Chains A and B, each alone.
Chain A
Amino acid sequence: METAAIQTHGLTRRFGALTAVEDVTLSVAPGQFFGFLGPNGAGKSTTIKMLTGLLEPSAGSIEILGQPFSASALELKRQIGVVPEGMALLGRLTAPEYLHFVGRMYGLDRETTNRRTNELLEFMQLADESRKLVTDFSHGMQKKLALAAAVIHGPKVLFLDEPFEGVDAIAAGMLKSMLTGMINRGATIFLTTHVLEIVERLCSHVAIISKGRLVANGSLEDLRAGVASTLPGAEGEQRLTLEEIFLSIVGAGAQQDAAQELSWLA
């Protein structure tokens, strides 16, 4: 049996009385583009933080590339790349300086770091901004830089928390092709985003978390079939979009209620 790239068992995180993530068990195969979806506050970022070592789980276990995270954290960190929620940027460095710093923190030698820095800056169309401090970058440029930093060491597993937020359509297309290329070369990508169209186009497997609990997990076709089977007659025979699947699973009723309640809005 093939070793999973990411495997969790009963992953739980509590903040005092609040349980942000509860008993999440999932498995992501190597080479899979995995979409992790959920409404705001569902526990997506908390899960990514636990998977990447930024947050200690209250219970449960995590294995990355077949190794328990807690036992071999440093070794595993070399194998993974992360675009975390806060992007982990150093505002008072320039983009080349930042990438250079990150590369060396991941153990790359100076020459390799320099070469990859230049290639990444060119690819991300940030080369013209090489004298500008990161703090002066637009949000989209910062996202691109954070993604460049996450891949500079050539990770086998990539965790992306909202990588497309604030990125323009041209850059988004470029990033999508880069991520697809990584998948073709055998990398595993764990992606959270609210842009369901991107997940539908890129991801082969999807999990949905709601109020801290995993409420759906499987291939897109499995989820589609599962939701369709609960719908009556002709409605169930239509090809459902991911948005329809998502709303059906996490509850669409709230949307209509909100529109009715805010009747004072023009």
Chain B
Amino acid sequence: MAGINGAGVNGAGINGAGIDEAGAARLFSATARAQYAATGALRWHMFINGLRSKMGAFELGARTVAFVIYAGMGLGMGFGAGIATYFLISSDEWKFVPIVLWAVCIIWQLLPILLASFQEQFDLSTLLRFPVSFSSYTLLYLIFGLADISTMVGAILCFGIWVGIVVAWPTLFAWSAIVLLVFAAFNILLARAVFAWIDRWLAQRKTREILGAVFLVLMLSLQFLNPALHQRRHQGREQRDEAQRQMMAQYGPWLHKANAVQKWLPPGLAEGAVQQAAQEGTGQAFESMGLLGLYALAVGGVLAARLKSEYRGENLGSAPSRKKAGLRQLKGGQAKVAGWMPGGSGPVAAVIEKEIRLLLRSLPILYALGAPLLLVFIFATMFHNTSQNTGHPMIFALPLGLAYAMIGFTQLFYNHLGAEGPGIQLLFLSPTPIRTVFLAKNLFHSMIFGIDAVVVCTLVSLRMGMPQPAMLAATLAWLLFALPTHLAAGNIFSILFPYRVNPGRISRQRGSQGNALLSLLIQAVVLGAGAGVFALCSIGDRLWLAVPIFLVLAGGAFFAWSRVLQNADAMANRHKESLMETVMKTA
């Protein structure tokens, strides 16, 4: 035994010359600086090496185009936020300024989810095997987050608001800048903390199931809220006005209470700090600003707690305890796999069952499918109010709602191999042709889109009334064109422009700008064709004419889809090396 625990294990050499342990623990020591430089160089080399292939060069081009689009989008919203802030402050309507700040806060938190497949994120936890100190790890985590789209757009929005404040009230030049900087820091830390914790919950079975249930309940609650809030749509204008007055009388005190609460939350505090500096005095302004800073620190603390666990090398495995496993073994004897498709034992059924299992375990994809329904609910309410105010019913609510719901399927349609991981090898090793796998995936995606479509139709019918028969027929005919078009293009893109998706994570995904931009282009073409036909046929009230036009287009789309399916094996075999390399990538 003496030999086993003998000298040498803790001896010099392992922690020997060249590693400055004390230095590594300080944030800006020589070792820490060398580590930052090495990480920066790593990112740079990964970027340059990515350009070696034709796809890499294409990806860079797509990334540049996307950057311009996002920058344009951000500038547009920033301009809007600036104008709104200017007019609200100029007209002394300070009480509405928090709405702008709340909008910024929500955009900042939601954009990372909406754009998860558009941006490439480096998983910094790969650095944990090196002697990187916790403070250095945290700093790197924060710095690399600054380059993402949500931070860029959020920063532009804050800048727009600052310009609006300064133009309306020039003396607030410096103070509003400081307040908005703290507000921006809060948003950055909040977004990172929320995603870090969601990823942690998604990593374990129990918390994943709880999170899934909460999400489902939330979605269902919002759907039920819809008819509950709008029970008076069949009433006349006077009755509705009266009802609205009653509602305000009923909910007015509640809204005042809500306003009183939001004043103590970061967007309200940011507005308060600026308004108090302008009107009331620096003491109160400092108070609001201090509270805002405390919020930022608290959120930073929550993030730090998560990073600390990650840094310590937590185990997120969801192994059942030995005792429970033993009990199951005694009770069950054999592991059973539930079959959801009676009689379907072939590969198509196998792939569909596998896809259902993976979908149910992937909250990010469920969110991507469910989020558009939430927005359809919001749009339906807006259309309802608009049609009430103008007296013209919104006849296009149904196709618009369905078109929007379809956007949520972009990642599923256009990158359906991305979540396979190393399992993609099996698709090429098994005797099942790739076209059979694609057929199964297409059938599954059509099936869940069908469910989404029924929900949208129900929502729109509840809010706007049953659509005209001509509109319903034309919309269904458009769907018959749109769906096979997306499936055909999606099958091609899944082979040519795949990217690795980790279905258990929301953040730290590897997106593909090329895939994202081209798929959006196809979406735009399909939507544009639909909008054009609807617009032309609605002139002179000939909406029925849209049905045969869409059916002809649907015939073409279906033919294209079947051709793509027939050629799927040849195409996949031609690109299998790059496809497997991309989808199996681990870092």
Contacts and interface: CB of A to CB of B under 8 A. Distances in A.
Interface of A: 52-56, 74-75, 77-78, 82, 84, 86-93, 95-97, 100-102, 104-107, 109-110, 113-114, 117-118, 121, 127-133, 135-136, 149, 264-266
Nearest 3 interchain pairs by C-beta: A266-B13, A104-B350, A130-B335
Interface in B306-364: 317-320, 322, 325-326, 328-329, 334-337, 339, 345-347, 349-351, 353-354, 357-358, 361-362
Contact of A128 (B12, B326, B420, B421): B326
B329 A127 contact: yes
B169 to A, nearest CB: 54
Contacts of A87: 422
A29 to B, nearest CB: 23
B228 interface: no
Given A74-B431, A104-B349, A132-B319, A118 B357 contact: no
A104 B344 CA distance: 10
B429 interface: yes
8 contacts: A77-B431, A86-B584, A92-B358, A104-B346, A131-B325, A131-B328, A135-B504, A266-B8
A90 B421 contact: yes
Interface string B399-434: 000000000000000000001111111101111110
A87 B421 CA distance: 10
Contact of B334 (A55, A118, A128, A129): A118
Contacts of B347: 104-105, 107
Residue among A88, A117, A128, A136 with max Cβ neighbours from chain B (10 Å): A88
B354 A90 contact: yes
A225 B65 CA distance: 66
B337 A90 contact: no
Contact of B345 (A78, A82, A109): A109
A88 B572 CA distance: 17
Interface stretch (B26-34, B471-479, B485-493, B573-581): B573-581
Contacts of A92: 357-358, 361-362, 419, 503-504
Interface of B: 8, 11-14, 16-17, 205, 317-320, 322, 325-326, 328-329, 334-337, 339, 345-347, 349-351, 353-354, 357-358, 361-362, 419-426, 428-433, 503-504, 573, 576-577, 580, 584
A86 B422 contact: yes
Contacts of B350: 100-101, 104-105
Residue among A78, A113, A121, A136 with max Cβ neighbours from chain B (10 Å): A136
A266 B14 contact: yes
A88 B422 contact: yes
B354 A132 contact: no
Contacts of B577: 55-56
A90 B573 contact: no
Contacts of A101: 350-351, 353-354
A93 B357 contact: yes
Contacts, number: 138
Contacts of B426: 88, 90, 102, 105, 149
Contacts of B329: 127-128
Nearest to A84: B425
Given A88-B422, A92-B503, A104-B345, A266 B12 contact: yes
Nearest to B13: A266
Given A92-B361, A101-B353, A117-B337, A136 B425 contact: no
A52 B419 CA distance: 23
A54 B358 contact: no
A100 B580 CA distance: 23
Nearest to A109: B345
Nearest to A88: B425
B292 to A, nearest CB: 40
A102 B423 CA distance: 10
Given A96-B336, A117-B335, A127-B329, A77 B345 contact: no
Nearest to A115: B334
A105 B14 contact: no
Residue among B17, B205, B423 with max Cβ neighbours from chain A (10 Å): B423
A105 B432 contact: yes
Contacts of B421: 89-91
Residue among A78, A95, A97, A149 with max Cβ neighbours from chain B (10 Å): A97
Contacts of B358: 90, 92-93
A56 B320 CA distance: 42
Nearest to B11: A266
A193 to B, nearest CB: 19
A160 B503 CA distance: 29
B425 A107 contact: no
Contact of A84 (B334, B335, B429, B431): B429
Residue among B205, B345, B431 with max Cβ neighbours from chain A (10 Å): B431
Nearest to A136: B317
Nearest to A106: B430
A233 B9 CA distance: 41
B431 to A, nearest CB: 4
A47 to B, nearest CB: 15
Contacts of A77: 429-431
A95 B334 CA distance: 12
Contacts of B424: 88
Contacts of B345: 104, 109-110, 113
A93 B580 contact: no
Nearest to A85: B425
Given A117-B337, A118-B335, A90 B423 contact: yes
